[in-house]
A and B are shown apart, each in its own frame.
Chain A
Amino acid sequence: MSSTQMLKGILDGCLLALIAEEEVYGYELATKLAAHGFADVSEGTIYPLLMRMQKLGWIEATQRVSPSGPKRKYYTVTPDGREELAAFTTRWQQLAASVQHILKEDS
């Protein structure tokens, strides 16, 4: 299985965590994701996810003039999004621990 497929369910949570750090716009978010080691995720992947998270009410977008000129959409996490992030963190930690456990048993 490629890492892209493994990532599918996890990317939402990662984006949520990055947006929770500070408000970001699309390109900035893609750059941050790549800097954290997700370089082979194509940058555009984040937009359908951002749209879905907006629909779910986890994040909010505000249009603002950016320092470099054009109007940009900046994303912030809503209270619902923070709850989801906390739930994701717990789920991830349990999952990571279980996977780790199995891998250790095997080796």
Chain B
Amino acid sequence: MQTLSDESRRFLEDLTLYLLASGKNEQATQDIVTELEDHLQEAEADGKSVAAITGDSPAAYIQSIASEMTTDYRESVWLLLQILAGVFSFLLFQDLLDGPLSYSLYFLVGFTVLISSLLIVLSRCLRYSATHTSSKRPILLFGLSTGVIFLLLMGLFLTDPQITSPTIHFSWLTSSIVGLSAFLLIGYSAYRAKTWVLPLGLLAYLLPQFFLRYQLNWSALSAVGVGYVCATVLMTALFFYETTSKKTNQT
């Protein structure tokens, strides 16, 4: 099979990014992208350019495709929940190292709202960057809004002890049950998504901390630092390893 021009390839990538960031069904997205890829291949063989297919504005064309596809809210909510659970699990297991769990309503609501808005901002920026390829604005906007959200998250952590709101305290037993269910949930979603980045990253974050704090009597803060570095290195390495092995599988 002959290869596509860079222009066509970029158009297909932008289309995929836009549709997925708009919460369209993954299978339906794959279907239309494959169909257009097939079309572009034949069109290029006949000496036509991508503009002959998309018309004057690729961005408008991408939007016209998106408007014909139904938004898969169930899949979006499921994805949002998975990411929330993934982010929360780091916090949960970190707290488990310090003792039984306890969360205030203020913290839980604030945390959910902030992480959700972070994901919504990310999806908006991805959509914008797919239809405005040469523009630096989405990167700037994303950087700015993530900065603000991180500041708010820090504020949430700092103000949590001061603000009184209904608080759930867990016993050791229920804490362990919560921890175990979280771990099973992570395992299950990793199995479904066929990526082991999160559970292995979580282990790389927790095991060194456990060892440093309870065997070598390190302080909690320096142990967190080491755990953080281990997890970041391992997750980045795993991410690149999985991406390249997926690519080799495809070709």
Q: Which residue numbers of A lie inside 8 Å of B, CB to CB?
A: 25-27, 30, 42-45, 47-48, 51-52, 55, 69-73
Contact = CB atoms under 8 A, between A and B. Distances in A.
A32 to B, nearest CB: 13
A48 B43 contact: no
B55 A42 contact: yes
Contacts, number: 51
Contact of B68 (A51, A69, A71): A51
A48 B65 contact: yes
Interface of B: 1, 31-32, 34-36, 38-39, 42-43, 48, 51-55, 61, 64-65, 67-69
Contacts of A70: 1, 38
A2 to B, nearest CB: 12
Contacts of A73: 31, 35
Given A48-B67, A51-B32, A51-B69, A42 B52 contact: yes
A44 B53 contact: yes
Nearest to B56: A42
Contacts of B34: 71
Contacts of B48: 43
A27 B38 contact: yes
Contacts of B38: 25-27, 70, 72
Contact of B55 (A26, A27, A44): A44
Contacts of B55: 42, 44-45
30 contacts: A26-B35, A26-B36, A26-B38, A27-B42, A27-B43, A30-B39, A43-B43, A43-B48, A43-B52, A44-B36, A44-B39, A44-B55, A44-B61, A45-B55, A47-B32, A47-B36, A47-B65, A48-B64, A48-B67, A51-B32, A51-B65, A51-B68, A52-B68, A55-B68, A69-B1, A70-B1, A70-B38, A71-B34, A72-B35, A73-B31
Contacts of B35: 26, 47, 72-73
Contacts of A44: 36, 39, 53-55, 61
Q: Which of B1, B68, B69 has the most CB of A within 10 A?
A: B68
A55 B39 CA distance: 21
A55 B32 CA distance: 14
